[in-house]
Amino acid sequence: MGLEFVEIFDDWVHTYDDSVSGKDKEYRDVFLKYDEILQAVADAASGPVVEFGVGTGNLTEKLRASGLEVIGVEPNNAMRTVTAEKMPDVAILDGDFLNFTIEVEPETFVSTYAFHHLTDEEKAEAFKLYAEKLPAGGKVVFADTVFKSVEAQQEIIEFEKTRGHVNLVEDLNREYYTTLPVMKSLIEAAGFTVEFTQLNKYVWLIDATKKSGNGR
């Protein structure tokens, strides 16, 4: 359930904000327009919002600036600590995309740069879970790396190899990045409509709305 990647953030917590700001040249294209990507997610959300993978709280701040009630869910203790220090009045709970306990009825689930930590089977399970917890018209708004096809993914990996981006190549091969057709299929199977908008070379906005007549 993505927990195999949690310990990576014990070290990355110290340099994460530098990476997303473009100071890490290997990940510069991945985080291109980072602020705009976070804002796109915040603009599409309505509260109460449950945010998965709060990290250092960058999206959380955007959501709060939009006047939304936010409950954070984060499996990494170091990340929870950093965000709690920045925003002590926000509830940051231990949990992940598939295991979380909340006391509110959310209108939106949001996340950025994290859903690829789940396998495709786990992604499908997650959307079925969100369908149970959302009202008709409720939304899942994620921004994450997705590829148009397996072939497109391999082309990008080969390109990054030519640039000597060893860490990024390892990341792209290790984690569970998926394709638009697969993502569309599993989201629709859970009872959502979905729209995809490309935000940079790597990242797509995934804007899914629960159809009426599907639970709550």
How far lies 23's CA from each of 15, 17, 29, 198, 204, in Å? 10, 9, 11, 23, 22
* Full-model pTM: 0.90
Any bridge partners for residue 206, and if so which?
142, 196
Helix (H) or strand (E) holding 208: strand 203-210
Residue 38 three-state SS = helix
Question: What confidence score (pLDDT) does residue 120 get?
Answer: 97
Question: What confidence score (pLDDT) does residue 55 get?
Answer: 85
Question: What confidence score (pLDDT) does residue 140 get?
Answer: 98
Question: What confidence score (pLDDT) does residue 2 get?
Answer: 46
37 burial (CB, 10 Å; 0-12 / 13-18 / 19+) is buried
Distance CA 94, CA 118 (A): 17
pLDDT averaged over 10-residue windows placed end to end, the chain, 216 residues:
48 59 85 96 96 92 94 88 87 93 94 95 98 96 97 96 95 95 98 98 98 69
For 24, how many CA atoms within 13 A lie in the half-sphere containing its CB? Answer: 16
